[in-house]
Structure 1
């Protein structure tokens, strides 16, 4: 009893092959569509210049302002002992 066919059918006649090929093919097409949309419909730049204050260096008058974030968070509620009354 021979259950195998005499002639093997070509690879394109099997449905699972197309299922395996279609996954990556859909991803490639979707990435091309996404790239096209990103290039064609770019967002406008609002206000072509940076704010003037961003170009100036930050000047801190109080050395306490330079405290690390953890120390600043832990002592935010404690009074400043260096402040003059």
Structure 2
């Protein structure tokens, strides 16, 4: 019975250490450059009409 009490938390600790090692070794690099395909703040986005229709439908009729 003691092995159940000891092995449960031990498995959790081993899994946590393994997860931390995988997370640290497999960390992605930070991207600092903005890709040219991302629309800037002044450009019109493709979903503008959908957003306007959604906002119009959500407002009450005058």
Q: Deviations over 1:6-51 (max 9, x none)?
A: xxxxxxxxxx112122011111111111101210232345x64222
Q: TM-score with structure 2 length normalisation?
A: 0.53
The gaps in structure 1 that reach 5 residues or longer are 1-15, 72-85
The gaps in structure 2 that reach 5 residues or longer are 58-62
What pairs up with 1:4-83 in 2 under 5 angstroms? 16-44=1-29, 48-52=32-36, 54=38, 56-57=40-41, 59-60=43-44, 65=49, 66-68=52-54
Equivalent residue pairs, number: 51
Larger relative contact order (CA 8 Å, sep ≥ 6): 2
Runs of 4+ residues over 4 Å off in structure 1: none
Higher helix share: 2
Q: Computing the radius of gyration over CA atoms, which structure comes out larger, 1 or 2?
A: 1
Q: TM-score with structure 1 length normalisation?
A: 0.43
Q: What is the root-mean-square deviation in Å for CA atoms of aligned residues?
A: 3.0
